[in-house]
Amino acid sequence: MSASGYMMEGDEEARRLDLKTVPKAVQEHALWAGLKPGMRVADLGCGSGKTSYYLNKLAQPGGETIGVDNAKQRIEFASSTYQDDGLSFVQKDIRQDLSELGQFDFIWVRFVLEYYRSESFDIVKNVTNLLKPDGVLCLADLDYNCLTHFGLPERLESAVRGMMTMVEEKANFDPYVGRKLYAYLYDLGFRDIDMHLAPHHLIFGELNEIDAFNWKLKVTSEGVKSVYKFDQYEGGYDEFFDEFKRAFEDPRRFTYTPIILCRGKKPA
Ligand SMILES: C[S@@+](CC[C@H](N)C(=O)[O-])C[C@H]1O[C@@H](n2cnc3c(N)ncnc32)[C@H](O)[C@@H]1O
């Protein structure tokens, strides 16, 4: 596990995030949440910066977007890859005091809370301090993360479930955070709360290169390898990985993961 607490830390993480981000989905979801031209936007846990870039497009003319991430590698990638009027990036930990960033009309937190099973509500509370009264907070995360496949061999299915249980217990990962988002905004007194559910992964038939790369990095991350023993396999992790690759490349397997979005306005 990396010192930052981020389970997916690794040299290729910015590239993984960049490749798998679909601009059309980000923009559709941000428009649904209420992002409008002229807004001051924070993209917290911005990864490769691709989401910040497309959020910033929607904030124009007249808006501004700050992408925030605590990984130096991600901020360097984002700053050199995505440049635009109104767009900037800053390295910061969203669990800390963020007041020097100023106040925002729209805050977007996608695929970050899942890495903080025990602190996710405190993070939402912390980032709420950055919202102007009536400002919009949009939380987006997965539910049943990595858990819904059909067509995997039985021992592989059991290894995947075992891995996910271990990352919950030992790496503070939350495969079910999506279902908690509504209660978080409800408990903080947000108004005009709305929910949206959509497919995030929807994989059937031939595996495309992006899904192959993304899922390979998911199951080879040190965070995952270090917490699970792969007892189902005499040859340990390597044998598991070969079987995972074969099964995941089989065009008969079916995988889906729902993304759950929750948006609300900060009470005045
Ligand atoms: C799975 S990526 C999501 C990236 C982007 N939000 C997206 O939707 O594609 C999670 C990102 O959150 C960042 N992150 C994790 N913990 C963080 C923290 N405490 N403060 C700021 N960023 C954090 C990671 O470095 C990583 O880039």
Determine the Cα–Cα distance for residues 1 and 3; give it in Å rounded to an integer.
7
How remote is the CA of residue 170 from the centroid of ligand 1, in Å? 19
Please report whether residue 158 resides in a domain: yes
What's the Cα-to-Cα distance from 31 to each of 24, 39, 87, 165, 199, rounded to whole Å? 11, 12, 18, 35, 17
Q: What is the DSSP letter of 167?
A: H
Residue 218, pLDDT score: 85
Determine the Cα–Cα distance for residues 71 and 197; give it in Å rounded to an integer.
29
Binned average pLDDT, 10 residues per bin, the chain of 268 residues: 72 91 97 98 97 98 98 96 98 98 98 97 98 98 94 94 91 96 98 97 95 88 82 92 95 96 96
Residue 155, pLDDT score: 94
What CATH number corresponds to the domain at position 243? 3.40.50.150
- Please check whether residue 224 is in contact with residue 159, taking contact to mean a CB–CB distance below 8 angstroms: no
Determine the Cα–Cα distance for residues 81 and 101; give it in Å rounded to an integer.
22
Please report whether residue 8 resides in a domain: no
Tell the residue nearest (CA) to atom 8 of ligand 1: 110
Closest atom of ligand 1 to CA, residue 50: 9
Please report whether residue 68 resides in a domain: yes
Please report whether residue 6 resides in a domain: no
Please report whether residue 124 resides in a domain: yes
How remote is the CA of residue 154 from the centroid of ligand 1, in Å? 33
Q: How many domains does the chain have?
A: 1
Tell the residue nearest (CA) to atom 13 of ligand 1: 45
* Pocket, ligand 1, Cβ cutoff 6 A: 6, 17, 21, 45-47, 51, 69-71, 74, 93-95, 110-112, 115
Closest atom of ligand 1 to CA, residue 20: 9
Q: What is the DSSP letter of 158?
A: H
Domain range for 117 is: 13-265
Residue 77, pLDDT score: 96
Residue 2, pLDDT score: 54
Please report whether residue 145 resides in a domain: yes
Please report whether residue 106 resides in a domain: yes
How remote is the CA of residue 11 from the centroid of ligand 1, in Å? 14
| 186 Cβ contact partners less than 8 Å away, ≥ 6 residues apart | 193
Beta strands in the chain (DSSP E): 40-44, 64-69, 87-91, 104-110, 131-142, 149-150, 191-203, 254-265
For the entire predicted model, the pTM comes to 0.95
The structure tokens listed for 182 are 């509504």
Burial of residue 129 (number of CB atoms within 10 Å: 0-12, 13-18, 19+) = exposed
Residue 3, pLDDT score: 55
Please report whether residue 93 resides in a domain: yes
